[in-house]
Amino acid sequence: MFRILLSLFLSVCAAPVIADDLFASYEDYASFVDAKMKNREFSNAIKGLSSKTQIVPQEVEKVHNQLREVIPYYLTNADVVKRVELENGYWQEMRAYWNGKGSIIYVYAFLHERDDGLAVLHIALNTNSEVIFGMF
């Protein structure tokens, strides 16, 4: 149940970003996500990838704390699991983060490459891969 609620919460909170929130490149985006997820900085990841106008700070902290309970150890590995190229610079991506102690989390992102940078249009985090695969 928690897994589904987490995905729904992040789906509702994530919205198109404004130009000030663009990443300069895909590499900058990937470095940001990898660093935040591996260090279990879930609230910073959510805040950095979502529209600032639709984030409820108390809810983000609640999700952060729940994820830190479910994932008690730093995540040491990262991979892109699935990437689907769409039209006109849009694509979907699923990233996985895990460690040798059984912790794993998946990050879904709907991205758009623009002339002035990379926009994160939608994100979702979940510990259940089926939920994320269902977004493709």
Per-residue tens of pLDDT for the chain, all 136 residues: 445 445 544 443 443 333 347 999 999 999 999 999 999 999 999 988 886 556 677 888 899 999 999 999 999 999 999 999 999 999 999 999 999 999 999 999 999 999 999 999 999 999 999 999 999 9
Asked whether the beta carbons of 49 and 30 are under 8 A apart, the reply is no
Strands (DSSP E) contained in 1-136 are 77-85, 90-98, 104-114, 117-126
Where in the sequence is the domain holding 60, given as residue range(s)? 2-133
Q: How many domains does the chain have?
A: 1
Q: Which residues contact 6 (CB under 8 A, 6 or more apart)?
A: 63, 66, 67, 125, 126, 127
Q: What's the token pair of residue 43?
A: 């609230």
Domain CATH code at residue 37: 3.10.450.50
Rounded to whole angstroms, the Cα distance separating 95 from 109 reads 8
Is the full-model pTM beyond 0.85? no
